[in-house]
Structure 1
Amino acid sequence: MDVEFIRHKFEDSYDGVLTKTKFKLGVRHLQMLYMFVCSLVLGMLRGSNGIGVLAIADYTRKNDTYVPIHNWDMRIQGTVLSSFLFGYALILVPAELYLKQVVDKLILTAVLLINGGVAAAMPTIVNKGGWVAVCNAQFLMGMTQACLTPVNLKLISNWLPPGEREIFGFIIQGAILLGTIISLPISGLLTESRLSWELVFYSQAMMTLSMAVIWGLLTASSPERHQAIGDTEKEFIRESLAGYRQKKLQRPWQRILQTKQFWALAVAHSAANVLFVFFLFEIPAFLQSLQLSIRICSWQAALPFAAMWMVHAMTAPAVELIYRFGYINYLFDVKYFRKIINGLGSCGIIIGLTILPSLVSNWNHLGVIVLIGTLGLVGLQFSGFLENHKDMTQNYPGTLMVMTSAVASVTGALVPLVSGLVIGDDVTNLSRWRVVFMSLAGFCVVCCVVYSMFASSSRQPWDGTIKQKFGYSNDATNLELEELSETKIKNRCFEADTVV
């Protein structure tokens, strides 16, 4: 939920021989288009949830809609939104571990159907079952949406040759955030209709159920099962994957959990996710407390997410180029590079969170700019702690990302709940909002200090024995030259010294 659009970079290591070919466009790219739209739709559902819940309690529309307005204070709203996030956090690790073993498009079909069905039933659940029933429904939606990323990654590995996976993985996973950005202003606009919040959920249902039908009828789990793909493209994909295999590695879960470097990375990830969740679910409520309409709130809440995505897209290539080519060595030790990048982003975020409550009395373009810049700097942090995953391990970057994501997801799920308890039933109380902002800024300070003190850019001991290959292996021809581990190399060096 937080930074999933980056996770495609962190699959556990592969080895083998990659082959190049002139074969370009094909049915596999149409499959990627459908996957992009599925991710976009589910991202829109996530983004519009907060606006829908906010509109349920919008008493300014009490006499202006066909639908009932419910007396939900911030405590109830926070509990409802946290239910979705807790469901997501609960299933995140099991989904990553087990769904990649299943090669079936029906999993994604089920995710779309469940989310669409629950969204269609949400007005009835709200009006008849109350907020407790809504919490259960949101929990179910969160659990199913946690399955999206691992299913996408598995389908990408089934359909695409290795050389195409990175770019399409980035596009498909990026569609989740793009859907969130698009859905915020659209859902705010829908709440101004006579159907108000019910139209938001009905729109979710129509999009998701329609996409479930399209996905179920027009796609396949693999090229071999697709009826429209030609033999030439099938052979191209088969040959591309012939010499490409995933390493069979035993994941060192316990050893990773016992290291302070992992927890430092998880803390930095948690800070970014807490900010993401706060801006997605709490900032619209904060803006509404300034007597702004939900339509305006949703537009202003969408801009920081667009800025975050753009900042990361612009800074990540430059930061990675500087890091890989070692230009930074002229200024300071490269092992501090990630920490400095993360620290720069944290400083700006902390300043922004500190001054935002002071701009409430005269909220204008300056307030919006500070809002945009504060979350936009999270995009800069992605070039720090997120890339640190690959620095620490070559064999388990995907596993490490899943573990830090799990910690970050649990932490982020607490944000609406805690914010709701602090704000309570007085959403216009500026002093309570100031407590929330200052607490969030303090949390970011602690996370930045912990990451700066204990994080590492060095490859970790639990990453396994480093093997040096003299030659290559190719599954297609079963050719394999000598492979020497560090232990064997040391033994041979010792024997040579003894002979001398």
Structure 2
Amino acid sequence: MDVEFIRHNFEDSYNGVLTKTKFKLGVRHLQMVYMFVCSLVLGMLRGSNGVGVLAIADYTRKNDTYVPIHNWDMRIQGTVLSSFLFGYALILVPAELYLKQMADKLILTAVLLINGGLAAAMPTIVNKGGWIAVCNAQFLMGMTQACLTPVNQKLISNWLPPGEREVFGFIIQGAILIGTIISLPISGLLTESRLSWELIFYSQAMMTLSMAVIWSLLTGSSPERHQAMGDTEKEFIRETLAGYHQKKLQKPWCRILQTKQFWALALAHSAANVLFVFFLFEIPVFLHSMHLSIRRCSWQAALPLVAMWVVHIMTAPAVELFYRFGHINFLFDVKYFRKIINGLGTFGIIIGLTILPNLVSNWNHLGVIVLIGTLGLVGLQFSGFLENHKDMTQNYQGTLLLMSSVVASTLGALVPLVSGLVIGDDVFNLNRWRIMFMSLAGFYIGCNIVYSAFASSERQEWDGTLKQKFGYSNDVTNMELEELSQSKVNNRCLEEDTVV
């Protein structure tokens, strides 16, 4: 899991005439409910993996469960968790390129079935196949979960008129993070049963396989293929999409990779994702090293994720309105505003990472508050670096975010692996944890220095700088219908002169 939960905001190269209608609730909204639950279930599977792997090696429960406890040190645990993340990062681009063209509900059914089947088989894989077999299973789970976002985006575009896509896209993608948050305390509670870690994976399997059956029976790939869809609602969707189409543009992959502005943006994205992965998978281990129960660790590890989500929801619109209507735009350019917001978040995060290892000897409410505040500031940074995607391009916002997500996901996948190498088999060694926290702080400083030095909020050359714009917009999306370069304007004027 990474900061991709707001990727739905960016849709490449669309324009058209959008109209308002009075049609309200319909079958399409029930379809969105099922998509929300699917994302929630898969998010819960992601979040419970870290607690499940920690419980596998919890020797404090060796004589207190019906299931075997395995001697997995931090190196093995880190390798297992990194396998999932590497599988996720590997399939991001292929899934975005090819699965968006298919948009069949069977793809999401397959994702649910594969993840549910592997979760059901995980206790056998752990006990019989060993950690190497578990790495293979986790790698496959990560590959299939990378398909969730592009499939959801395409299904949303099939089912919803343009004016409803942003809200429901945000809700459905946000369900992944909500599922991750919910799963942490629930998984910690399940580990206290006699079945311990095996119950976590069996619960994952039950939820995921049940949702696969419900999804396959009660949903459709498009309104035309849904048996419960009425003719009135079908006609409504067809009318709203009649003038809305995607422009035929070839994505400038190489040119984007050659710009320093992209890499500055990607490094800022990577820093946030690395911190997120560290808090999701390594903070429960860090808390467990202070002799806290897994149940208590999972509860405290969930709170920073809640803070990040709440801060982002509350600050993103407020920051944008403050800039647009608070006369800040008259004082300095938007690129400085983005960097100031990002810098404030970075400063607080560095302080938090520096303080946390020093609170171990007397871990109390202050430690939990610092833990919450440190990751919560990432939600503030989303209003900084993540908004640059929209500033830099009008035609390739989704593509730009996808490319930075690949870089961020790849570096995030290294976090459990590096943590395992640093901590090793001495999880109670505070000096090793201090090295890990300081290394993370140094990485965060370096990435955000590069962002502050080279990031830009100006529209890039590979997107096509527009000198004049023709067209109009309405209240639904404020979308420009046609944008013409100066050369096109000159050609039009020459044609008119010729006719005269």
The TM-score by the shorter chain falls in which range?
over 0.9
Q: Distance in 1 between matches of 2:298 and 2:482?
A: 60
CA distance in 2, matches of 1:45, 1:224: 32
Residue 67 of structure 1 aligns to which amino acid in structure 2? V
Aligned equivalent of 1:27: 27
Q: Which residue of 2 aligns with 1:134?
A: 134
**Could you tell me how far 1:469 is from its partner in structure 2?**
5.3
Structure 1 482/311 Cα, relative in aligned 2: closer, same or farther at 3 Å?
closer
Percent of aligned pairs sharing the same letter: 88
Matching of residues 43-54 of structure 1 within 5 Å:
43-54=43-54
Task: Give the distance between the partners of 2:385 and 2:110, measured in 1 at CA.
Answer: 34
Contact 1:326 1:334 (8 Å CA) reproduced: no
CA offsets 1:154-174 (integer angstroms, 9 cap, x no match): 000000000000000000000
> Equivalents in 1 of 2:82, 2:345: separation in Å?
26
Q: Distance in 2 between matches of 1:381 and 1:485?
A: 33
Match of 1:391 in 2: 391
C-alpha distance in 2 between matches for 1:326 and 1:300: 37
Deviations 1:207-235 (A, max 9, x none): 00000000000000000000001000000
Could you tell me how far apart the structure 2 residues matched to 1:278 and 1:187 are? 18
Distance 1:465 1:151 in 2: 31
Q: Distance in 1 between matches of 2:10 and 2:482?
A: 28
Contact 1:122 1:134 in 2 (8 A): yes
What is the rounded CA distance, in whole Å, between the counterparts of 2:370 and 2:154 in structure 1?
Answer: 39
Q: Deviations over 1:366-416 (max 9, x none)?
A: 000000000000000000011110000000000000000000000000000
Tell me which residue corresponds to 2:287: 287
Q: Any residues of structure 2 matched to 1:122-201 within 5 Å, and which?
A: 122-201=122-201
Distance 1:286 1:219 in 2: 42
In structure 2, distance between residues paired with 1:265 and 1:347? 18
Secondary structure at the aligned position of 1:383 is classed as coil
Report the equivalent of 1:341.
Answer: 341
Against the structure 1 CA distance between its residues 378 and 38, is the aligned structure 2 distance closer, same or farther, given a 3 Å change threshold?
same
Once residues 231 and 341 of structure 1 are traced to their aligned partners in structure 2, the CA distance between those partners, rounded to angstroms, is 48
After TM superposition, list the pairs within 5 Å mapping 1:233-382 onto structure 2.
233-325=233-325, 327-382=327-382
Cα distance between partner residues in 2 of 1:453 and 1:446: 11
Matching residue of 2:476: none
Change (3 A) 1:452 1:125: same
Q: Secondary structure at the match of 1:245?
A: strand
Work out the CA distance in 1 between the residues paired with 2:483 and 2:303.
52
Q: Deviations over 1:168-227 (max 9, x none)?
A: 000000000000000000000000000000000000000000000000000000000000
The equivalent residue for 1:85 is 85
Aligned-residue RMSD, C-alpha: 1.8
Matching residue of 1:476: none
2:406 maps to 1:410: no
Match of 1:38 in 2: 38
Matched residue SS, 2:15: strand
Query: Is the contact between residue 108 and residue 151 of structure 1 (CA under 8 Å) also seen in structure 2?
Result: yes
Question: 1:352 aligns to what SS in structure 2?
Answer: helix
How far does the alpha carbon of each residue in 1:257-283 deviate from its partner, in whole angstroms, 9 at most, with x for none? Answer: 000000000000000000010000000
1:153 touches 1:169 (CA, 8 Å); kept in 2?
Answer: yes
Q: Which amino acid aligns with 1:85?
A: L
- CA shift, 1:495, in A, is 11
Distance 1:364 1:465 in 2: 54
Q: Which runs of 5+ in 1 are unaligned?
A: 474-480
Are the counterparts in 2 of residues 18 and 240 from structure 1 also a CA contact under 8 Å?
yes
Asked whether the 8 Å contact 2:47–2:179 carries over to 1, the reply is: yes
Distance in 2, matches of 1:414 and 1:47, equals 17
Displacement of 1:4 after TM fit? 2.2
Per-residue deviation at 1:492? 7.2
Distance 1:239 1:64, change over 3 A: same
Quote the offset at 1:490 in angstroms.
4.6
**Letter in structure 2 aligned against 1:200:** I
In 1, are the aligned partners of 2:268 and 2:447 still within 8 Å (CA)?
yes
Paired residue type of 2:224: E
TM normalised by structure 1 equals 0.95
Structure 2 portions without partners, runs of 5+: 474-480
Tell me the alpha carbon deviations over residues 101-149 of structure 1, each in whole angstroms, 9 at most, x when there is no partner: 0021000000000000000000000000000000000000000000000
In 2, Cα distance between equivalents of 1:260 and 1:165: 32
Q: CA deviation at 1:246?
A: 1.1
- CA distance in 1 between counterparts of 2:356 and 2:86 reads 28
Change (3 A) 1:405 1:483: closer
Q: Does the 8 A contact of 2:88 with 2:142 survive in 1?
A: yes
Q: Deviations over 1:469-492 (max 9, x none)?
A: 54579xxxxxxx997532133567
Q: Distance in 1 between matches of 2:125 and 2:492?
A: 71
For the residue of structure 1 that corresponds to 2:266, the secondary structure is: helix
State how far apart, in whole Å, the 1-side matches of 2:485 and 2:4 are: 35
Q: Distance in 1 between matches of 2:430 and 2:483?
A: 66
Cα pair 2:99 2:151 within 8 Å, conserved: yes
Residues 471 and 274 of structure 1: CA distance in aligned 2, closer, same or farther (over 3 Å): closer
Aligned to 1:455: 455
Amino acid paired to 1:252: P
